[in-house]
Structure 1
């Protein structure tokens, strides 16, 4: 099973993503202080029925949710405001991958 704490050195030291924005044990985000590049690691989503392969941050998550429904894409996890402050939903892309579409509180 993947281990976020074991991977931290790879992402922070080797790739230079040294800012740990958050780490909930099952999900963590590391960001570059210089470029703003980031990676979000998920070992097993604690509140959704499936794990996502990537996360996409959007400005209007409600609009993205409505558009996904309008286009007939499969919603895997409904639009939810999570206890840690992110509002998100999971949608299955036509290739089968599950995408976490999210907006973070500022």
Structure 2
């Protein structure tokens, strides 16, 4: 199967707030927007996300309104310090401070208007031996 795109659809009554947030704060471009649905993509096409109101009859079966738990959206960057500085200067309320994690990420995080957790990460060298306890032993 070949995909033209793949993206989550976050069902929320705050569709317009999310559209504006992702455009203004994260630089995503609006590719499609209507009263009930908006689709956004990163400027370089590396990521997409959509938001849909919970009340439109074309909604696929099953998606209840997002409650803000059980999902995060990873935005991998080359330099977390630069991303943090840019977002902080723009007034972003960072909820998880810029942190070097022992498992090999420098990251920070915040919520969007729908309650979706945004985790901005830079891959860094993990602490020596960190992953050893998680390694799968080779079959004998």
TM-score by length of 1: 0.47
Structure with higher RCO (Cα < 8 A, 6+ apart): 2
Structure with more of its chain in strand, by fraction: 1
Q: Greater CA radius of gyration, 1 or 2?
A: 2
